[in-house]
Chains A and B, each alone.
Chain A
Amino acid sequence: MSTNTIPCTINGKDVEVKEGSTIIEAMKANGVEIAHYCWHPGLSVAGVCRMCMVEIEGNPRLQIACNTQVVKGMKINNTSDKVKDAVKWTLDFHLINHPLDCPICDQAGECGLQDQYMHYGKYEPEMAEAKVKKHKVVDLGPRVVLDSERCILCSRCVRFTDEVSKTNELGIFNRGDRADISTFPGKPLDNNYSMNTVDICPVGALTSKDFRFRQRAWLLKEHQTVCTGCSTGCSTKVFFNKEGLFRVKPVYNEQVNGHWMCDIGRDVYKFVNKEARLFDAKVSGKGTGAGNGLGAEWILPKRAALKVGETLRANKGKGVALVLTGQHTVEEYDALLGFFKNDLGSDRVFHWVNTVGGGPESLEAFDGLLLRGDRNPNTAGLKESLQKFGIKTQWKELLEGLASGAITTVVVAGPENQTFFPDFKAKVVELSKAPRLIWLTAGKNLDLDNLTGDVTLIPLKSYLEKSGTFVNHAGLRQKIAKGLTIVPNALSLTEVAELFAGREIEAAESCSSIGVGRVQNEATTVRGSL
């Protein structure tokens, strides 16, 4: 694309815009607000909603901004009365058959119709005809539900399945006021990117089966992070409140994921919620308060880590092995490897490579859009750190060490998200052969719970509860920040390394949260003040 700019005037202000851009792109680039539904920067131009009307000097009729290219010296205006009137009426036509069931609609609070009505609404409806009744609660597929009455036929979802996922499940069937979005019989909306249609739906027509009716949008806070579902590392935001996390949505990132994310990534939040988490350290086997070696005691994770550290250091790292997964941040790897290499002088660090359905070649798998076979956010970062510390080991050396008795203590760090480790159970069996096992993980796990030997389980923080860096498959370094706390006593690997080394850990870092502004409706003429 050309990088030349051309001069034009938007709302009386002279600006330079990229050559070849449409008016709506030019307006967005210059921070000018413009009403629109069907236009989406990640999709082709449809020009069906007619909301983005602008006045162009010298042109007697209003034009749509999404399908008109800016030419040199163009004078564009979208604040004139003529434009306002056009937008107002267009919006009113959109609402002819819209049920206005906002109180029971899942989209309320983040709805394009609501937002735009605040700005451009007519407030004096003049439609005398009865509304056309359409299908409600249409099951489009395993993850998406359609309410036809709320649909304004912007065709974003149809274009998404045609252009992005290229699965072509959706279409606009029938015509006029009977037109509705639907799937062809026997071909449901079932692809790994289907939930993006819910995100781009500007109204409450497409809703997520996972999220609907669980929370109101305004009761949730947002936190921007990086998806840990695979090595692509899509930019995402999680929505949460004090009851936990409720959903994940993509954030635009030109370098990584564009506007989209996959459905598998949207389920990642589930392992973070407290129902799935390990809360306290569990110490079982010899030397516990339970005495007979069969029981177990639950203690503060910090104490457990200090205790483990003492024994590790007492033995000078003799017979100690560390197992790492690609689920943690670079900083954590460096801290823990630093302890093992420098404090214990141990080289026995092993990379637990997980494959989801297939051999090692499946790690290289790529679906052509976003999802990669390597379901870890930071395999590249782990490899980098291992190289930095000069560690070159193979998994079979660990097994040999266990068999020969050279390895007596195994410290397993991770995984945070056990669902992407189909070999979890097998590894538990394999590693529990070690006389002493210290397992650091975020989630509860029955296989670990059932172990009876000398086992210490220490709860780890999830990726949302700590800061750090992930390196994605392409070597892109992305920072994540702490957003919330779910398990207050859980530790990050950095903290674990500090405690192992016998040092106190610093006070918890604070969370960042994003405030949400309020839009005032300019069409309301009589407004009191408080």
Chain B
Amino acid sequence: MFKLSAEGLNYVQSELTRYETKQSAIIRCLYRAQDENGGWVSNDVINALSEAMAIPAPQIEEVATFYTMFNRKPVGKYHIQVCCTLTCGMMGGRELLALMMKEAGVKEMGEVSKDGLFTFSKVECLGSCDTAPMLQINREPYTENLTFEKGLKLVQDLRTKGGKLESQISKEL
């Protein structure tokens, strides 16, 4: 049974006072709850939020299923979202996605790899066309100007470097 942490509950309360209507706070609170629940929104998460926000569960479910940023199924530790819209698509985004999925041992999008590390999604434009092809891991800053080699290396590094994200790795370097 999922429960929001004490800070999480505080966060929800402060978000509720931020907007004209309570419903406006749903997206922010869902993000928080999704992070606390390991990257996905379970029914329990929605029930917990419904209780914390005093909003009927179906109204939260409406938001959670409308936006693709909320995962209603479990995801791996790294949810790799590869952009395949026009510019990235022309620059090899789709091929890159297929290659990375093969490297990670994942057959279908949305599937969690056996080691529990990877889930891949094809996403629509993330607004960084000048650095195409690009991808986003979880809610970290973008990983940009990719090539097939960089993509493969990214999967390998994530697997071997004890689960550190590239942004964290580059910060350490």
A residues apposed to B, CB below 8 Å: 168-175, 183-187
Contact = CB atoms under 8 A, between A and B. Distances in A.
B19 interface: no
Nearest to A174: B65
B65 A175 contact: yes
B65 A184 contact: no
3 nearest interchain CB pairs? A171-B58, A168-B56, A173-B65
B43 A185 contact: yes
Contacts of A169: 58
Contacts of B59: 168, 171
A184 B66 contact: no
Nearest to B62: A171
B46 interface: yes
Contacts of B61: 171, 173, 184
B57 interface: yes
B66 A174 contact: yes
A173 B62 contact: yes
B58 A183 contact: yes
Nearest to B67: A175
A185 B42 CA distance: 11
Residue from the set A170, A171, A183, A186 with the largest chain B CB neighbour count within 10 Å: A171
B49 to A, nearest CB: 12
B58 A170 contact: yes
A171 B57 CA distance: 9
A187 B58 contact: yes
B70 to A, nearest CB: 12
A186 B66 CA distance: 20
9 contacts: A168-B57, A170-B58, A171-B61, A174-B65, A184-B46, A184-B57, A184-B58, A187-B57, A187-B58
Interface in B17-68: 43, 46, 56-59, 61-62, 65-66
A168 B58 contact: yes
Given A168-B56, A183-B58, 18 more contacts: A168-B57, A168-B59, A169-B58, A170-B58, A171-B58, A171-B61, A172-B62, A173-B61, A173-B62, A174-B65, A174-B66, A175-B65, A184-B43, A184-B57, A184-B58, A185-B43, A186-B43, A187-B58
Nearest to A168: B56
A174 B66 CA distance: 5
Nearest to B64: A173
A174 B57 CA distance: 15
Given A184-B46, A185-B43, A186-B43, A175 B66 contact: yes
Contacts of B66: 173-175
A169 B56 CA distance: 8
A414 to B, nearest CB: 42
Contacts of B56: 168
Nearest to A169: B58
Contacts of A186: 43
A172 B43 CA distance: 16
A170 B57 CA distance: 9
Contacts of B62: 171-173
B21 to A, nearest CB: 13
A168 B57 CA distance: 8
Nearest to A173: B65
A329 B58 CA distance: 45
Nearest to A166: B56
A185 to B, nearest CB: 5
Contacts of A168: 56-59
A169 B57 CA distance: 8
A171 B61 CA distance: 8
A184 B57 CA distance: 7
A181 to B, nearest CB: 10
A277 B58 CA distance: 44
B44 to A, nearest CB: 10
A173 B65 CA distance: 6
A170 B65 CA distance: 14
A281 B117 CA distance: 80
B39 to A, nearest CB: 20
Interface in B50-92: 56-59, 61-62, 65-66
Interface string B114-131: 000000000000000000
A188 to B, nearest CB: 11
Nearest to A185: B43
Contacts of A172: 62
A72 to B, nearest CB: 31
A501 to B, nearest CB: 60
Nearest to B61: A184
B143 to A, nearest CB: 27
Contacts of B43: 184-186
Contacts of A187: 57-58
A312 B48 CA distance: 69
A68 B75 CA distance: 45
Residue from the set A170, A173, A175 with the largest chain B CB neighbour count within 10 Å: A173
Contacts of A183: 58
